Structure 1
Amino acid sequence: MVNDPLKLVVFDCDGTLVDSQHAIAHCMDHAFATHGLDCPGLEKTRTIIGLSLPEAITKLATPGTVDAAIVEGVTAAYKAAFFELRQAPDFHEPLFPGVHEMLAELDSRNWLLGVATGKARRGLDAVLARNALEKRFVTLQTCDNHPSKPHPSMLHSAMDETGVEAPNAVIIGDTAYDIEMGRAAGMLAIGVSWGYHDVDTLNNAGAHAVIDHFDQLPGVLETMWGTSRNAA
């Protein structure tokens, strides 16, 4: 049996594992309205999903309408709105099709799994618990302790925690921020076509590949890493 180096597969959360766009847009509009700012709406908000909140809010605001204090206030209002929304009995933030099956398949290859997200750790923990995914990931990186994507800090920490080197690591994400983060970390970067940035944007950001369904991922990774199912 070939003793391959450890492999690490890191996933973005919003737009990659879970479809959270409507909840995010609702809370963003609420937070902007609370401070008398024009609500960005769903289509505009989709473009910044993946960034940390202060960066996202600054990008969404009309130029010249916010300063650091207002960004801080809108950030707090957004967090409060999302926490309240998450408590509602009809709260719906579904996984994309095939997540559980794909994670089980990657795990069967003894590949290490992680998450790198612009969410706060509290929000990520809630997503994982709600979808029975708490035990799937060995490294969880959030905006609480890192600069916003596309800075590669989260991926550097994920590799440090797992002992995996960049050529044996990959980020899977739906936005240019994920792809740019992976490239900056020296990792492979694979886009997903069902998220919040279109395929051309992912390719222009430098994606090594873009998949249309999670069942394509194991084969794409095997090809990129030159591994086989029997060598794992």
Structure 2
Amino acid sequence: MTRPLAIFDIDGTLVDSRESIFLAATEAARTLGLPEPEYDRVRKIVGLSLPEAMRTLEPQLTTPELDRFVEAFRQCFHRLYAEGHEEPLYPGATDLLRRLHRDGWRLSLATGQNRKGVARNLTRQGWAELFVSSHCADDGPGKPHPAMLHAALSAAACDPDAAIMIGDTTHDIVMALNAGVRPQGVAWGFHTPEEQIAAGAPHVAETFTDLEAALDRFAARAFA
């Protein structure tokens, strides 16, 4: 029997990066002399590739200005990491990943982070051993294009109807629908449950316990 594939977003789903992303966007805006963005504007761009996110945040920028904006955002993260900063995991994240892996699920990552960010996260204790594959914005079209999910399905030799995409943004939900994969929202990240449901999520988990139950229901239906 084919084992189910759970494809996880990182920021806002497994890792609480709300503070650091908002700080980086704020510092980048200051670098260009732009007004500091409100958090509600910043949260809506999370999940997109960084250039696309920055273009969405400040669409009036010229191409050279956008390049500076993107680089200023990156430099803030470089400084944070040099100072020893690490975004915290949401409580229950690693426990759920380990339980799914132990029970025979295949696991993958699909994120708007770049490859360096993915590599950094895979150094978390035990993570590198849990995932079949990881896919990011450096690999090709970013969310909500389905390319990352097509690559994850191929790496796991999995049919779309045996896979579920877990994320916290509308970009995750639409990407899953575009790939023919079941979307599963979570309520603790960047986009609200209402936004995710409006984008097509059939369910948004309120807690990791709720998410675990939703994944168990998916596996039971997919392989009944």
Q: Which one of 167, 179, 184 corresponds to residue 178 of structure 2?
A: 184
Residue aligning to 1:81: 76
1:7: Cα distance to partner? Answer: 1.4
Residue aligning to 1:39: 36
* d(CA) in 2 for partners of 1:224, 1:132: 25
Which amino acid in 2 is paired with 1:51? L
Structure 2 residue 159 is the aligned partner of structure 1 residue 162:
no
* d(CA) in 2 for partners of 1:31, 1:193: 27
Q: Once structures 1 and 2 are overlaid, which stretch shifts more, 18-27 or 130-139?
A: 130-139
* d(CA) in 2 for partners of 1:15, 1:142: 15
Q: Partner of 1:124: helix, strand, or coil?
A: helix
Which amino acid in 1 is paired with 2:162? N
1:24: Cα distance to partner? Answer: 0.9
Structure 2 residue 169 is the aligned partner of structure 1 residue 172:
no
Residues 147-171 of structure 1: CA deviation (Å, up to 9, x unaligned): 1211111000011111001000010
Residue aligning to 2:55: 58
Structure 2 residue 121 is the aligned partner of structure 1 residue 127:
yes
Which amino acid in 1 is paired with 2:215? L
* d(CA) in 2 for partners of 1:37, 1:161: 42
Mapping 1:204-223, distance limit 5 Å: 204-223=198-217
Which ranges in structure 1 are unaligned for 5 or more consecutive residues? none
Q: Partner of 1:170: helix, strand, or coil?
A: strand
- Is the 1:113–1:138 contact (alpha carbons within 8 Å) kept by the matching residues of 2? yes
The runs of at least 4 consecutive aligned structure 1 residues that moved more than 3 Å come to: none
1:43: Cα distance to partner? Answer: 2.7
* d(CA) in 2 for partners of 1:148, 1:100: 25
Q: Once structures 1 and 2 are overlaid, which stretch shifts more, 38-47 or 218-227?
A: 218-227
* d(CA) in 2 for partners of 1:78, 1:130: 23
Residue aligning to 1:67: 62
Q: Partner of 1:134: helix, strand, or coil?
A: helix
* d(CA) in 2 for partners of 1:131, 1:75: 30
Q: Once structures 1 and 2 are overlaid, which stretch shifts more, 51-60 or 170-179?
A: 51-60
Q: Which one of 15, 25, 29 corresponds to residue 22 of structure 2?
A: 25
1:218: Cα distance to partner? Answer: 3.5
* d(CA) in 2 for partners of 1:193, 1:87: 31
Q: TM-score, normalised by structure 2?
A: 0.93
Q: Which one of 112, 115, 118 corresponds to residue 109 of structure 2?
A: 115
Which ranges in structure 2 are unaligned for 5 or more consecutive residues? none
1:180: Cα distance to partner? Answer: 0.5
User: How many matched pairs?
Assistant: 224
* d(CA) in 1 for partners of 2:98, 2:172: 23
Q: Which one of 195, 216, 224 corresponds to residue 218 of structure 2?
A: 224
Which amino acid in 2 is paired with 1:44? R
Which amino acid in 1 is paired with 2:83? A
Identical pairs, percent:
36
Which amino acid in 1 is paired with 2:198? N
Q: Partner of 2:127: helix, strand, or coil?
A: coil
Q: Which one of 144, 151, 163 corresponds to residue 150 of structure 1?
A: 144
Which amino acid in 1 is paired with 2:63? A
Q: TM-score, normalised by structure 1?
A: 0.90
1:203: Cα distance to partner? Answer: 0.7
Residue aligning to 1:97: 91
